[in-house]
Structure formats: C-alpha cells, structure tokens
Amino acid sequence: MKEFVISEAKAETAVLVGLVTKEQDEAKTKEYLDELEFLADTAGAVTVKRFTQKVGGPSQTTYVGSGKLQEIKQYIKKCQDDYDDWLEAGGEAPQPVGMVIFDDELSAKQIRNIEQELKVKILDRTSLILDIFAMRAQTAEAKAQVELAQHRYMLPRLQRLWTHLERQGGGSGSGGGKGSVGLRGPGETQLEMDRRIILQRITLLKQRLAEIDKQKTTQRKNRGRLIRVALVGYTNVGKSTMMNLLAKSEVFAENKLFATLDTTVRKMTIDNLPFLLADTVGFIRKLPSDLVESFKSTLDEVREADLLVHVVDISHPDFEEQIRVVEETLMELGCAEKPQMLVFNKIDAYTWVEKEEDDLTPMTRENITLEELKRTWMGKLGRQGDKETGSSGHYLECLFISAKKKENIDELREVLYRRVRELHVQKYPYNDFLYNDYE
C-alpha cells in the first residue's frame, strides 16, 4: 500500500464537520453546514463530503468522538487511494481531500490532536472567515484590521506551528489575495514568529489603526450637517446592490460571502434632500468577537449613523435567524437603540410551498406566502420584541423590495426621504437653508 502523504495539489478540496446537539438539531446543523460550504466556496474550496455527529457537546480533545474521527480518516484515505489509482492509470484524477473544516471554533489542543490524526489542513469556521477577509481586504485599514484579527486568533494557538505540515502559500504581511485556502494573510515567516513578536505586531497594528481612526474621525466630522444612514445586514443580502441602485455608486457586489469589507460612503439626494449613505461589512453567525473588535473603525460608520437600514434577504430559508444575528451584533456594537428600518430584499426570489387542503401536518415557514409574511412583519412595527418572529428589534418601517428587479424602489426612496427629513429637522433645527428647500 502506498504511504499516506500530503501533496499540494489536493489543497483545495474540503470536507466539512459539524455537530448535532441538544441546542442545535439536525435541520439547524444542515443550515450551518450549508453556510459553511458557501464560505468554503467563497474561499475557493470545493466541498466533497460532510460529516455530522450527534453528541451532547464537542469533545475537548478532538471535537468529534474518536470513532467519527476514524471515519473521517478512512474517508480521506480512500480518496487518496482513489487518487493514486487514477494517477497510475493515467486518467484525470478527482481531487483528494486537502482540508477538513469544522463548523465551530477549535482550541489549540483540538487542532493539534485532529491534525495529528488526519494529516491534512485543519480549519475552523473562524479561520475560514478570517481567510476570506484576508482575501477581500482592499484598503490599508481593512488589511491592518484583518491582520490584527488573525494574530489575535493565532496567539492562543501557537502550538499549531509545530506541525508536520509544510506551510506554503501565505502572502507576506497583511492579507494578500493569493495563496491557498486557510493560508492567506500572515505568511510562513510570520506564522513562525514567537509569541513576543506577535504581541509586538499586535501593538503596532493597534497603533496604526488608531492613527487611521483619528484621520477618519476628522474626515467624518468634516462631512457637514448631513444625516447619516447606514445599510447593515447579514452578508450577501444585497446591501451593495441597494447602495449602487440608490446612490448610483459602483460598489463591488457578487453572490459570494463578504463581497464588501470596506465601508463606502456616498452623498446622495432625494428631492433636494442631501444625506450620506454608507454600505458596511456584512454580519454572519458565529462571527469571531475578535473580528468585530478589530473592525471597530469600519463599524464606527454604523455606530455613528443616525438611521440604520437593516437589509434582509427574504428569499433565504434562514432569514429570521439572520435577522436575530444582525440584531445581536448591533446590540454588541451598542447600536440597538438607533432608529431602524427593516428592508426585505429579493422579493423576486421568494418561494413558498402551497399546502394541500387535506394536509394536516403543521404549517411551517415554507408554507407561508409573501403576503402573510408582510402582514406579520408590518404588524409588529413599533413594537419592542416579538414572539411570533423571534425578533427583538423595533422598527420604524418595514419595506419589501427587489434591488435587482427594481421593485418598490420608489417607495423605498419615499420612506427614506421622509425619515431622513424628520431626523434632519430634529438634529439641525436651525438649518433654515435646508428647511426652506423642502417646504
């Protein structure tokens, strides 16, 4: 039998691992793994298999139980053998498994143990997200923020460096777009830095970010007496598409997670009423708190906004949970009390399953029409908290649009105009110049 070796060629094929627990039932775990697969895809990895295990909670040593770990090992080995057979036969070989991605954050100990057993790249949800961020970071600020988050992630996991795995492909310095999945961002030399050097680097990055932050604060102060509106929401809901539509900007938007990392601010006008509109980084479940912390200055745009437009992808099967995640993240940022409006986007892609009359199984979310959903959400306007939808926020407005098909955009503009104008008059009551213009 051939020796079990690692080759670079197989680096971009992934196996996903998640747990089914008391708190997270099978359906939930499937949703989480769907999202993890989308994240992997965004990072450039093809998922070939998923493993799940029903347990009370993650094992402290290997996350999954030892039986499941052996099962994963066998699978990896089988793929490798198939690959070798194919090569021998001279055919076009299917990729063997290059990495295993775990749906929760792993400790140093877990990573070390699992890596020893599986002998392929081990990633967790956090390192995968960080990897995508490193790939997406464009500005000096975003790059510094991602690098800071990566070092913070790395620090308690330094043992990971004494591994048999050859580390290649990392860019030097802060996240470059090149390199293979999980190895972008701080490169090999940096991975080998000891604790002390990493700590120095963290201090330096924090200083650099504080500098940028100062400049940005000054810039923001110089923007004049304009109401500031921020588009917030889960990743991939269509924030940038809306921004481009409303402000005629050209923010990068695509069907990948975290398409936009940097905040873009545009001055826009509706009926002679000028205000600022900001497109911000998307949120996601299990977003590492280090990352939220590292993105402090990017998120200041949200913190300092006068009005938040919470964009939701109504065509996503999990949109309700996404709303809750965004609400929680806003709470973490101390923004929960800001005036907010809810904009359900992608109504063109909303689907539902009609229930047969004689079908006595309970109604599920799948059976709800768009009209019913509208009624439910409209009904909770202005109310704090809601049992039916599980949402804790209270919203001034609730709109249903399609940014792509340009449906209900006039209504969106109208509502924005009304709310911004209201806020403007409250905030700058003596600004007669503006006032006269709008009467």
Q: 167 is in the binding site of which of ligand GTP, Mg ion, none (Cβ under 5 to 8 A by kind)?
A: none
Interface with ligand GTP (CB under 6 A), residue from 254, 359, 366, 410: 254
Residues 270-309 that bind ligand GTP (CB under 6 A): 282
Please, what is the minimum distance in Å from the beta carbon of residue 207 to Mg ion? 29
Residue among 239, 216, 43 at smallest CA distance from 141: 216
Cβ distance 129 to 110 under 8 Å?
no
Total number of residues that touch ligand GTP (CB under 6 A): 23
Q: Which long-range contacts (CB under 8 A, 24 or more apart) does 406-409 make?
A: 406/245, 407/347, 407/348, 408/347, 409/245, 409/246
How many CB atoms lie under 10 A from the CB of residue 136? Answer: 22
Q: Does 349 bind ligand GTP (CB under 6 A)?
A: yes
Alpha-carbon distance 248 to 268, whole Å?
Answer: 9
Non-local (6+) Cβ contacts of 76 within 8 A are 15, 96, 97, 100, 118, 120
- Closest CB 187 distance from ligand GTP, rounded Å: 25
Q: Which of 28, 73, 216, 404 binds ligand GTP (CB under 6 A)?
A: 404
Give dist(CA 226, CA 428) in Å, integer: 9
Q: CB of 45: closest distance to ligand GTP in angstroms?
A: 18
**Candidate list 134, 144, 278, 403; residue touching ligand GTP; CB under 6 A:** 403
Pick the closer one to ligand GTP by CB: 19 or 246.
246
CA-angle at 427, arms to 425 and 430, nearest 5°: 65
260 binds ligand GTP (CB under 6 A): yes
Q: Which is nearer to ligand GTP, 187 or 282 (CB)?
A: 282
Residue type, 182: G
User: Residue 380 CB, nearest distance to ligand GTP (Å)?
Assistant: 23
Asked if 201 contacts 144 with a C-beta cutoff of 8 angstroms, the reply is: no
Choose the one of ligand GTP, Mg ion, none that binds residue 404, judging by a C-beta under 5 to 8 angstroms depending on kind: ligand GTP
**Binding residues for Mg ion, per CB under 5 A?**
239-240, 259-260
Would you say 348 or 414 has its CB closer to ligand GTP? 348
Residue 127 lies near ligand GTP (rule: CB under 6 A): no
Mask for 29-58, x = binds ligand GTP (CB under 6 A): ------------------------------
How far is Cα 153 from Cα 12, in angstroms, rounded to an integer? 22
How far is Cα 291 from Cα 126, in angstroms, rounded to an integer? 9
Residues that bind ligand GTP (CB under 6 A): 233, 235-241, 253-255, 257-260, 282, 345-346, 348-349, 402-404
